[in-house]
Amino acid sequence: MAVRKVDTDRYGRLVGEVYVNGNSVNLQMVREGHAVVYDQYLRGCPDTRDDYLSAEQVAMNSRANFWGQPNPEMPWDWRNGSAAVEAEPTSTLPVCVNSDFNCSDFNTQAEAQRVLDAYSGGPHRLDRDRDGVACESLP
């Protein structure tokens, strides 16, 4: 596994691109609709910017996971307690994926487990009891 640092967020956490066997975990998560693109970090991804935006468009068009909700609320809106923005998803071309995941970011334990496995012990709160099983309370 390799991590390419892109930036540091306002809390001092690393924002980066994660690669396993030369494949971008971030890009795969965006493509599958398990992550959205954070616009503010794209400047740090000049070589992969278009790949992220294209992958997100594919996920939106296929209504994959996050995008399959009736009115998907962007994570930054949800965290700020804002009401869902009534706009076309493409108007919020939201990155390099911020790796600050919580169990509430996932619909199923299997989705959370994939992230935990990909980040293997990363700085998120997916395995609080450190038994290797992510978000045990999720279905």
Same domain, 113 and 89: no
Same domain for 89 and 27, yes or no, is yes
- Compare 60 and 77 and report the one with higher pLDDT: 60
Q: Is the pLDDT of residue 26 over 80?
A: yes
pTM (two decimals): 0.57
Euclidean distance between CA atoms 56 and 133, whole angstroms: 28
| Same domain assignment for residues 113 and 95 | no
Q: 36: domain CATH number?
A: 2.40.50.90
pLDDT > 60? residue 110: yes
Q: Could you please report the per-residue DSSP string of 36-85?
A: ---GGGGGG-TTTHHHHHHHHHHHHHTT-GGGGSSSPPPHHHHHTTPPPP
Convert the pLDDT of each residue in 130-139 to its tens digit: 777 878 888 8
Same domain, 92 and 126: no
Claim to verify: residue 77 and residue 110 sit in the same structural domain: no
Split into its structural domains, the chain has a count of 2
Which structural domain range is residue 16 located in? 2-100
Are 24 and 18 in contact, with CB atoms under 8 Å apart? yes
Q: Are residues 17 and 40 in the same domain?
A: yes
What CA–CA distance (Å, rounded) separates 45 from 49? Answer: 5
